[in-house]
Amino acid sequence: MRRRFLFALLLMFLSVFVYADDDSKKLKNENTDPTANLKKSTDIISEVLIEGLKNVKARRVLPVVKLKKGKYYSNDIAREDVRSILKLGDFDNVEFKFDRNCGKFVFVVIEKPYIESVIFKGNSEFSKRKLRSMSALKEKDYYDVLKLEETKKKISTLYGDNGYADCQIEVYPTVDVDTNKMTVTFLITENNKMVIGSVDIEGAVYFKGKKILKVMKTKPKKIFKEDIYQNDLKSIEKFYKDNGFMDYSFISSTTVYNDARTEVFLKLNISESVKYKINSVAYDGNFAVDDKEMKKIIKIKKGQIFNQNRITETVQSIFEIYLDKGYLHAEIIPSFSKGDTEGLVDMNLSIKENSITYVGNIYIDGLVSTKDKAIRRELLLKTGDMLSVGKVRRSVEKIYNLGFIEKADPQVLPSQVADVMDLSFSITESKPGMFSTGVGYSSVDEFIGSLQLQHMNLFGLAQKLNFLCEFGSKKQNYQIEWKDPWVFNKNINLTLSAFDINRRRDYKDDNKDAYNEHKIGGMAGVSRRFNDYISLLFVYKYEYVKLLNIKEDVKYEVDKINPHNPSKISSISPGIKYDSRDYIFDPSKGNRQFANIEIASDLLGGEENFVKGIVMSSWYFPTFWKLVLSVNFECGVIKGHKIPGSEKFYLGGADTIRGYKYRTEIGSPNGGEVKGLINVEYKFPIVSEKGRTIVQGLLFYDIGGVWENCSDVNLHLGTSSKNLRSGVGFGIRFVTPIFPLRLDWGYGLNHEKREPLQQFYFNIGNIF
């Protein structure tokens, strides 16, 4: 009895467990598939059709819709599909309908008329081909009323700019209802060409009418253009206000045509009023900028003629000083008061500084292969700093100077905290690596081939790796270099390089290919940046130099200046650098100062003992139309016991004084212990891309000399070895951070009679 009871109890327990488990599975299935009930009540599409097509093919429409055969119908998705079809630009209207009984889904479309032909009639001044190129409406396209209006405007402007101010344009679109194909006809009535008969100026007393006409582009016998005429009125106002007439006003303008409407006569009525001078200059409200600094900024002085442009520039200069100090909301308001004496005006600059703005969050957007910290560490601003616009601008320059950034756009964004603004830098990367080959010719190295492999952003950390190979009959050059701008995330730059260079050297003009000079060595350099501009450098270099295949007739002289052959040179070079250039690969402003002392000693493991000092100063001045004037000064002195010829100074060639051969035409062929040179270049853009110059031309002037010792220095131009030599010429630059290429033609101005007057150079890298 007990066994039966226990057995029955066990069966009850199992049945409850099984049913409970089954119910839980059902519940689980229902809960984990929230669309199960929806799918049951949703209809499946059996077919997708498009009604109303005449010229548009169904295969153009179907790929842009999401509702397909076998999909579940959704009103929301259908409306999205309508928008997608309209975006194609081929339809005026799209509707849809769905038959739930059979599952048929239909888009009902109304096509725009298909333009079969665009016809121009009445045109004689411009060809049909010219007008067709101006038209936004194209054959084999679909009609768009906005494009029609755009075409009318462009053709009207074309005729107006060429003197046909009375040109009339009528449009006749005709549509074949059956085919929905259209012909668009432009009927052009050109009328007469109209030129300016005269320009009369009334009210001009201080200046003659001819003087004012020089300010204008609208002149007699020229074509009348309304937009240029309106700009001329603004130019006249600026001219007067920049010449003291602060109360100048334009009263009226009248336009009269001759009977044939071939000439237009313009009459301007102006009021000059009184010519003013500045009686006094005052300012108030400045606390962040002291009076001493304000007086340097304000160039307007008592007694000067009132000049609106100079006042605007002064206000802008003051505002920029405040921007650099974090006062982004500063206001500088000029006001003027006239005294009892006619023609005198007092000027006051009222300054409202408002509060300082601080940096909130800093965002770096757009990075693909570059690590965030590689960009962030170039920024001169951190969270919590005063927001200096000058530091933002300089940070952008530093980002570009990495060499692999195509675009860096800063934005100042509002935050939720008063007087705090967020900064965002939108970065566009360029290709960091490049493999280049080339062939060139120069008068120094003759024909030479080159191969260069460079990566500017190794591991996304702005590390640079460069391998260069040059090969020719007179030169074989193999170099490899690696740079890390932030060693161990410290503000320290590490450079390691190795080289193997073999060159055929000339000794005087009558001894070409006198010997081979073979250099093998390496260099390790460390530089520490103390601020945005100043760096201290320390370089260790080791070279093994061997002269081979020396011709017998120059062997004595070559051995005399190279007492150790082969020679081992081990040296250290401490130096200092100041660099404020905006873009180091093609500077347009700023300067670079550099000085170092190289100390070679047998105590460092070499065989040579000398001290070499070099000072360089390069300046860049922007002028008009992106033209840049560059000036470079360089001088050097070397002293020591039995200085090897490979370490002495030589001039001429592509990198110093162009128009002369390297080593053999300037100074002694044995080299010198003193050198000095100046390079002046005037660069102008030829081809630009994305706001940067990629091909530029230049004119240059070089002057300098090299002397055997300090007592031989002669600063007079001439043809002797102790005189200065100079050269002029022109060149082309292919400007890229990866592979800067130089082509120069130089003409020497101080040659001896037996020397060639000109030289052609092909080289890699910048001169300064």
* pLDDT tens sequence across 393-410: 999 999 999 989 999 999
DSSP state of 569: E
* DSSP strands (E only) in 326-397: 331-338, 344-352, 358-365
DSSP state of 357: P
Domain presence at residue 626: no
Domain presence at residue 510: no
Q: What are all long-range contacts of 212-215, with beta carbons under 8 Å and residues at least 24 apart?
A: 212/236, 212/239, 215/239
Sequence-ordered list of residues with C-beta below 8 angstroms from that of 530, at least 6 positions apart, any chain: 536
Q: How many alpha carbons fall within 13 Å on the CB side of residue 362?
A: 19
Measure the CA–CA gap between 542 and 524, rounded to whole angstroms: 9
Measure the CA–CA gap between 176 and 113, rounded to whole angstroms: 9
- Report which of residues 452 and 621 the model is more confident about: 621
Measure the CA–CA gap between 763 and 742, rounded to whole angstroms: 5
Same domain, 746 and 660: yes
pLDDT tens-digit profile of 82-127? 999 999 989 989 999 998 888 899 999 999 999 999 999 999 999 9
Same domain, 410 and 380: yes
- How many folded domains does the chain comprise? 7
- 80 sits in which H/E element: helix 75-87
Whether the predicted pLDDT of 216 surpasses 90: yes
Domain presence at residue 767: yes
The range of the structural domain enclosing residue 14 comes to 2-38
Q: 670: domain CATH number?
A: 2.40.160.50
- Of 33, 173, 67, 201, residue with least CA distance to 113: 173
Please tell me the predicted confidence (pLDDT) of residue 126.
93
Same domain, 153 and 77: no
Q: 412: domain CATH number?
A: 3.10.20.310
Place of tokens 């080159």: 450
At 317 the three-state DSSP class reads helix
Domain presence at residue 663: yes
Judge if the upstream peptide bond of residue 414 is cis by omega within 30 degrees of 0.
no
Please tell me the predicted confidence (pLDDT) of residue 441.
66
The radius of gyration computed from the CA coordinates of the chain, to the nearest angstrom, equals: 39
Please tell me the predicted confidence (pLDDT) of residue 36.
40
Enumerate the H helices of 551-703 as residue ranges: 552-561
Sequence-ordered list of residues with C-beta below 8 angstroms from that of 451, at least 6 positions apart, any chain: 436, 437, 468, 469, 470, 471
Please tell me the predicted confidence (pLDDT) of residue 128.
92
Domain presence at residue 653: yes
Same domain, 183 and 203: no
Same domain, 181 and 292: no
Same domain, 106 and 128: no
Confidence of residue 471 (pLDDT cuts 50, 70, 90): confident
At residue 744, what is the residue type?
A: D
Domain presence at residue 565: no
- Of 614, 597, 524, 602, residue with least CA distance to 569: 602
Measure the CA–CA gap between 559 and 567, rounded to whole angstroms: 12
Please tell me the predicted confidence (pLDDT) of residue 566.
92
pLDDT tens-digit profile of 524-545? 999 999 988 999 999 999 999 9
- Given 397, 414, 429, the domain boundary residue is 429
Domain presence at residue 699: yes
Measure the CA–CA gap between 164 and 262, rounded to whole angstroms: 9
Whether the predicted pLDDT of 10 surpasses 50: no
Whether the predicted pLDDT of 23 surpasses 70: no
For residues 572 and 539, the answer to whether their CB atoms sit within 8 Å is yes
- Given 336, 352, 368, the domain boundary residue is 352
Same domain, 656 and 760: yes
Q: What is the mean pLDDT of residues 589-595?
A: 96
Please tell me the predicted confidence (pLDDT) of residue 11.
45
pLDDT tens-digit profile of 313-345? 999 999 999 999 999 999 999 999 998 888 999
At 434 the three-state DSSP class reads strand
pLDDT tens-digit profile of 161-187? 888 988 999 999 999 988 999 999 999
Q: Which region holds residue 12: left if phi is over 0, alpha if psi is between -120 and 50, else beta?
A: alpha
Measure the CA–CA gap between 744 and 763, rounded to whole angstroms: 9
Please tell me the predicted confidence (pLDDT) of residue 444.
67
Q: Measured in Å, how far apart are the chain's first and last C-alpha atoms?
A: 111
Please tell me the predicted confidence (pLDDT) of residue 738.
62
Q: What is the mean pLDDT of residues 220-249?
A: 92
Confidence of residue 447 (pLDDT cuts 50, 70, 90): confident
Same domain, 768 and 654: yes
Q: What is the mean pLDDT of residues 376-405?
A: 94
Please tell me the predicted confidence (pLDDT) of residue 750.
93
Whether the predicted pLDDT of 673 surpasses 90: yes
Backbone angles phi, psi at 21, to 5 degrees: -65, -40
3-state helix, strand, coil in the chain (%, to 5): 20, 45, 35
Please tell me the predicted confidence (pLDDT) of residue 224.
87
pLDDT tens-digit profile of 188-213? 999 998 899 999 999 999 998 889 99
- Given 111, 138, 161, the domain boundary residue is 111
Same domain, 665 and 764: yes
Same domain, 690 and 742: yes
Domain presence at residue 623: no
Q: 270-286: b or e for each residue (b if 16 or more CB lie within 10 Å)?
A: bebbbbbebbebebeeb
Which two three-digit tokens encode residue 400? 């570009």
Write down the mean pLDDT value for the chain.
Answer: 89
Please tell me the predicted confidence (pLDDT) of residue 692.
77
Please tell me the predicted confidence (pLDDT) of residue 4.
47
Same domain, 238 and 149: no
For residues 429 and 369, the answer to whether their CB atoms sit within 8 Å is yes
Please tell me the predicted confidence (pLDDT) of residue 37.
40
Whether the predicted pLDDT of 8 surpasses 60: no
Same domain, 20 and 81: no
pLDDT tens-digit profile of 623-661? 988 899 999 999 999 999 889 999 999 999 889 999 998
Out of 229-233, 359-363, 447-451, least confident range: 447-451
- Of 327, 318, 323, residue with least CA distance to 348: 318
Pairing of strands 609-622, 628-641: antiparallel
